[in-house]
Structure 1
Amino acid sequence: MMEDFNSETDSDYTSYWRDWFVSSRGNEYFCEIDEDYLTDRFNLTGLNTEVPYYQYALDLVTDVFDLDADDDLREQIEKSARHLYGLVHARYIVTTRGLAKMLDKYKKCDFGKCPRVVCEGHPLLPMGQFDLPNMSTVKLYCPKCEDIYNPKSSRHASIDGAYFGTSFHSILFQVYPALNPEKSMRRYEPKIYGFKVHAAAALARWQDGWREDLHWRLAEFDMTHKFIEESESEEDGFDYAEEPEGAKVDKVVAETASGRMDLGK
């Protein structure tokens, strides 16, 4: 909001809008976009249909805003300017200069560290699950365990994921392959008094979980199925001793073919 800037005049506000935006609390994930990138119309292709008050918002972001508007209109323009900056930001961070700026923030752990113990505090990267706005909030990607996490701060958790896009983190490691961490095969091993839990017991729990999941998935399609152990009577269960109808037909065809071969001899 404008009041967070603590400026006394409109000229002060427009002169330092980008600096104010990037340095504001909750916007630590953003890097500052170069002015020459913002003034190049090619980089803004298609955004005029997605951002309300597009021209006013662009003037505000590029520090040429001089409209004498009331508070309500100014608030709408400010909201559009933040949205415009976020959409342009998603395009900028996949450029050479944008990748370099985000790389510096990544090395400083500005995006946080992985909460997974085995990753040993590896730095995270912001990413979006969708390239379209208003679909999902920003997530944090760990290149070591290759999993995504929610930001700890509520300010960061409210940022639109489209402001970072779905490709940024992958492009970063394509350009800087040396930074891609080696994947670890270590995992937590449950133990009882220092002894590992029997592998068969773990496998049984995994199978029970999948079986329960299968029940729920079938129930969503109004389909019922009972395993042999769950049948109330022997008639309800599947008789494995009885050959399926298809198997009987295949057997008859095979025997007929065998008889013909004997006749040929």
Structure 2
Amino acid sequence: MMEDFNSETDSDYTSYWRDWFISSRGNEYFCEIDEEYLTDRFNLTGLNTEVPYYQYALDLVTDVFDLDADDDLREQIEKSARHLYGLVHARYIVTTRGLSKMLDKYKRGDFGKCPRVMCDGHPLLPMGQHDIPNMSTVKLFCAKCEDIYNPKSSRHASIDGAYFGSSFHSILFQVYPALDPEKSVRRYEPRIFGFRVHASAALARWQDRYRSDMIERLEGAGIEVKYLEDFDFEGESEDEEDDFDPLDTRGEEVVGDTASGRMDLGN
């Protein structure tokens, strides 16, 4: 998700950790969290139980880290600091200040553009499908077609979706309703030599596909079903065909005549 900080000294590492984090490749979706927000313990409620080496990680994020640790411990603290920053980031971007920063990135198109042709390159917003870490990666939401997409870059695709939360994109358009675009209703119409394909052709294909799927499900359940097209009527004689009349109601007519005769005799 990010590059290792190996090109700077330890003093630069501890003094400019957030600047390094934001400028690292793969972290373009994140905005910089204000130091006042990070130092307010109320905003960090409950995170101490979710982040290992919480205090050391917080010191690193707030640029007050001062610990002579070996490489293995420093690596663990660095990992915890990235995780802590992501969890705080999900809370920060739904505040007034955080929404404003993400809005600027949205207007610049920092999150990419919708790959759907009918959306005409509408900018995207990062979002998570879950608010709990390690459940799903970040997705990109298009407000025009109201669909979500995977990031193009593998660096972005590995970011935890909980670092943005499942409500950020909806809150943004609630706070800035003028930015909510008109929904895309255009759909591509298949054509042959300029003429639209008739709807009955699509319906016939759907019916054939649906019947094939249903036959497979029935066969899987051990049920044998035959359709009218499966019977061979060519080998039958004309007399046999004439003997079968599904609309023959002569038997019912005789019964009716007899019943009416009995009623006459009774009179």
Same fold? TM cut 0.5 = yes
- Residue in structure 2 matched with residue 49 of structure 1 by the alignment: 49
Cα RMSD (Å): 2.4
Q: Quote how far apart the aligned CAs of 1:203 are.
A: 2.4
Count of equivalent residues: 232
Q: Quote how far apart the aligned CAs of 1:207 are.
A: 4.2
CA separation in 1, counterparts of 2:98 and 2:216? 46
- Residue in structure 1 matched with residue 5 of structure 2 by the alignment: 4
Query: Using a 3 Å threshold, how does the CA distance of structure 1 residues 218 and 100 change in structure 2: closer, same or farther?
Result: farther
Give the secondary structure class of the aligned counterpart of 2:5. Answer: helix
- Residue in structure 2 matched with residue 163 of structure 1 by the alignment: 163
Query: Using a 3 Å threshold, how does the CA distance of structure 1 residues 41 and 188 change in structure 2: closer, same or farther?
Result: same
CA separation in 2, counterparts of 1:217 and 1:36? 61
CA separation in 1, counterparts of 2:204 and 2:216? 19
CA separation in 1, counterparts of 2:13 and 2:79? 15
- Residue in structure 2 matched with residue 195 of structure 1 by the alignment: 195
- Residue in structure 2 matched with residue 39 of structure 1 by the alignment: 39
CA separation in 1, counterparts of 2:55 and 2:39? 12
Query: Using a 3 Å threshold, how does the CA distance of structure 1 residues 218 and 93 change in structure 2: closer, same or farther?
Result: farther
Opposite residue 119 of structure 2, the aligned amino acid is: C
- Residue in structure 2 matched with residue 229 of structure 1 by the alignment: 227
CA separation in 1, counterparts of 2:57 and 2:217? 48
Q: Quote how far apart the aligned CAs of 1:2 are.
A: 7.5
Unaligned stretches of 5+ in structure 2?
Answer: 232-245, 247-267
- Give me the TM-score of the superposition, normalised by structure 2: 0.80
Q: 5 Å matches for 1:1-265?
A: 3-4=4-5, 6-8=7-9, 10-210=10-210, 223=221, 229=227
Query: Using a 3 Å threshold, how does the CA distance of structure 1 residues 212 and 6 change in structure 2: closer, same or farther?
Result: farther
Opposite residue 132 of structure 2, the aligned amino acid is: L
Q: Is the 8 A contact 1:130 1:162 kept in 2?
A: yes
Q: After TM superposition, which residue ranges in structure 1, 4 or more long, deviate above 4 angstroms?
A: 207-219, 222-228, 230-233
CA separation in 1, counterparts of 2:168 and 2:90? 8
Deviations 1:71-130 (A, max 9, x none): 000000000000000000000000000000000000000000001100000000000111
Deviations 1:7-49 (A, max 9, x none): 12x2211110001101100000000000111111111111111
CA separation in 2, counterparts of 1:217 and 1:91? 47
Give the secondary structure class of the aligned counterpart of 2:89. Answer: helix
Q: Is the 8 A contact 1:137 1:157 kept in 2?
A: yes
Q: Is the 8 A contact 1:2 1:78 kept in 2?
A: no
- Give me the TM-score of the superposition, normalised by structure 1: 0.80
Query: Using a 3 Å threshold, how does the CA distance of structure 1 residues 171 and 7 change in structure 2: closer, same or farther?
Result: same
Q: Is the 8 A contact 1:57 1:77 kept in 2?
A: yes
Unaligned stretches of 5+ in structure 1?
Answer: 234-240, 242-265
Q: Quote how far apart the aligned CAs of 1:4 are.
A: 3.1
Q: State the identity %.
A: 81
Query: Using a 3 Å threshold, how does the CA distance of structure 1 residues 202 and 95 change in structure 2: closer, same or farther?
Result: same
Opposite residue 6 of structure 1, the aligned amino acid is: S
Query: Using a 3 Å threshold, how does the CA distance of structure 1 residues 42 and 108 change in structure 2: closer, same or farther?
Result: same
Q: Quote how far apart the aligned CAs of 1:206 are.
A: 3.6
Opposite residue 163 of structure 2, the aligned amino acid is: Y
Q: Is the 8 A contact 2:22 2:30 kept in 1?
A: yes
CA separation in 1, counterparts of 2:132 and 2:44? 15
